[in-house]
Amino acid sequence: MKENFKLDIRQRPRRLRKSAGILDLCQETRVLPSDLILPVFLKEGKSGAEAIPSMPMVSRHTIDSLMRVCEAALRRGVKGIAPFPMVDPAKKSLRADEALNANSLANRAIAAVKRNFPEMSIFADIALDPYTTHGHDGILDKDGRIINDETVEVLAAMALVAAQSGADFVAPSDMMDGRIGAIRDVLDDCDFSDTGIMAYSAKYASAFYGPFRDAIGSAPSAAKGNARRGGKGGRPKEGESGGKAKYLDKRSYQLNPANSREAVREALMDEAEGADIIMVKPAGPYLDIVAKVKDAVTLPVAAYQVSGEYAMILAAAQNGWIDLERAREESLLAIKRAGADMILTYFA
């Protein structure tokens, strides 16, 4: 080889990677604490935090301990929370009556946070599955099928109660047709036009939700009152999958993981109906969906790094297989790089 060999090239991209300072100056994507929304799990009582085995370093909180979480989050620059209640089984019903209770655990927590930390933005989950005995996100008919329009009526009433409790945004996560427009109408008619809607527009029927359902105590199977997927000819009921499925099958309302155009259609419909923020859930396995939705809508886009994504990273790190801090940062950067303006993540 020729001595002192040099390539005759003008463009050397490595010049922009030669030091930590230059790397920082040229970084295209950043994740800031203010980009994050912290999902928090709630439980009744005054016993403080309770660990969730399937989600290391994540706990269920009483309203008292939630105040400490909010204080710490704000101190670190995280300015939004999304509370999810673990509902007493005795308060669950076929029609999710507790969801409309102004004194429910979730609504008391919302009011307490707003009273103590008015600067904290609260994104209230609007869905019936924590409140139903069967664990589905809707009202069932006598044949076990979800009645879309009747469910939407209940969801709109639930959203109004959350707004009255102090929620800055209501976040319908049910995937019923037409619920964004119905909720917007009810909020506007009742003088809550300033309350925003974060629409779970592209919520997929994902296998990555398992730890979350453990955390809120959602029904793992539909022994009674299954919502059928429709039709005849031996199609499986929701909750049935050859005897192997642990959790309810929600494919009659959540999106098919194989589809992307459907997600864009749902996002555009929600934008037209009055949503203020469009959500994609899960985040990591659906970065292509985040990007496509971002290109299609004019609204801010949120992505939810769900419990299964979080649990896998923690489990691998605890086994010494990956570096927790680097994997955490890389996973969040990827979501932001795909187009998310904000990220719901337990890493917050």
Q: How many Å apart are CA 321 and CA 334, to the nearest integer?
A: 20
| Amino acid, single-letter form, for residue 323 | D
- The 10 Å Cβ neighbour count of residue 325 is 10
Q: How many Å apart are CA 339 and CA 202, to the nearest integer?
A: 14
Residues that are catalytic: 203, 281
Q: How far apart are the first and last CA of the chain?
A: 53
